[in-house]
Amino acid sequence: MKVIEHIAKAKKSLFSFEILPPLRGRDIQDIFYTLDPLMEFCPPFIDVTYHREEFLYVEKENGLLQRKKISRRPGTVGICAAIMNKYGVDAVPHLICGGFSKQMTENALIDLNFLGIDNVLVLRGDPLKSEKSFIAPENGHKYAVELVKQVKDLNLGKYIDTTFVEKKEFPLFDFCIGVAGYPEKHLEAPNMESDLFFLKRKVEAGANYIVTQMFFDNKKFFSFVEKCRSEGISVPIIPGIKPISSKKQLNSLPSRFYLNIPNELVKEVEKAKNKKNVSHIGIEWAIHQSKELKNSGAEVIHYYTMDRPENIYKIVQAIY
C-alpha cells in the first residue's frame, strides 16, 4: 500500500522508521534483530537506505593499501523484499541519482515493481568523499527533481527508450513518491527560500509526500511546515527524529547534516558521565519532541534508527 494511503486511512498518528542495510559481510539476521522488537508497534512502512559505491581503501595482505570502488552497505532491494515477506509490512527503498544512469534507474524500478513495492523515497545522494560537489552520473540525473520526473513518467507508461517496450493499454507502474525536505535548509542551499523553491519543484514534478531531515528543535519543524504551506506545498510532511546517542554526535550531526542542536540538549549531553547516560538523555529528548509532534497532529513520526534500534524501541514504547 502507498504511504499516502496509510496516512489517509490512519485514525491516529503513525510511526515509521529507517534502517540501514547491514555492512557487507554481515547477515540479514542483523536486520531481523533490529526489526523484530519494533514490529510490536505495527509500523505501516519501513524505509531502507541506499548506499552507493564509493572509493575506499582496503589493506592488502602485504600491508599496502588498495583503492577499491565498493558499497559498504549493499542489499537495499533484497532487504525490502525480505521485510515484506517476513512481516507483511510495506518497505520503502531509497532511490538515489548518484551512480545511476537513467537506464539503470528504469531497470531498478522494474525490479521494485515486480517485487510488489509501492513506494520509493527519491533522493539525489551526497557527493562522494572524493568530489567537491555532486557530479551527475553519465546519462543520469543531477537533482532529485529529475529522478522524481523519471519515476512519474514511468507511472504514466513513459519508458526512457521505447525501442523494446511491449505495448500495454494501461501503465504498469504506480509508485508513490517521497522526497526529502530540510527544516533547517539543505547544506548546499544558499538560503531557505531557494531550498523551498526547489522542494516545491519536486512536489510539482510528482512527489506525494515529504520526509524531513532530523531536527532537534520542534520550532524549526513547525516553521518549516508553515513556510511550505504558504508556498503552496500541500502534501504530507513527515517529521524525522533521531535520538542523540554519543557525545561525538554533538559535532558530527550539525556539520554533516547542517542542523542545530539546542544549547539545553548540548549542555545536558556534555554533563553526561557515560554513554548509557548520553543515550538516556537523547531518548528523553526525542520522547519530548515526539509527544509534542503527536499532539500537534503529525500524521506520521519517522525515526532514524542508525543502527540503534533499542533506543527507538524505548521512545516508541513511551509514545505509542
Kindly list the residues in this chain that would bind ligand FAD in the complex (CB under 6 A). 49-50, 94, 96, 123-126, 143-145, 180, 186, 188-189, 194-195, 198, 202, 211, 213, 240
CB of 255 vs ligand FAD, minimal distance in Å: 14
For ligand FAD, the closer of residues 96 and 316 by Cβ is: 96
The type of residue at 67 is R
CB of 216 vs ligand FAD, minimal distance in Å: 14
Write out the DSSP string of 83-114: HHHHH--EEEEEEESTT-BHHHHHHHHHHHHH
For ligand FAD, the closer of residues 106 and 195 by Cβ is: 195
For ligand FAD, the closer of residues 202 and 314 by Cβ is: 202
* Residue 94 Cα to chain centre, angstroms: 6
For ligand FAD, the closer of residues 22 and 281 by Cβ is: 22
Q: In the numeric block, which cell numbers belong to residue 302? A: 519517522
CB of 196 vs ligand FAD, minimal distance in Å: 8
Torsion angle, CA of 107/112/114/117, rounded to 10 degrees? -160
The Cα–Cα gap between 301 and 29 comes to 26
The answer to whether 217 touches 293, Cβ cutoff 8 Å, is no
For ligand FAD, the closer of residues 81 and 281 by Cβ is: 81
CB of 136 vs ligand FAD, minimal distance in Å: 10
CB of 287 vs ligand FAD, minimal distance in Å: 21
Helix (H, G, I), strand (E, B) or coil at 21: coil
CB of 145 vs ligand FAD, minimal distance in Å: 5
Q: In the numeric block, which cell numbers belong to residue 156? A: 504514466
Non-local CB neighbours of 1 within 8 Å, separated by 6+ positions:
44, 90, 118
For ligand FAD, the closer of residues 94 and 278 by Cβ is: 94
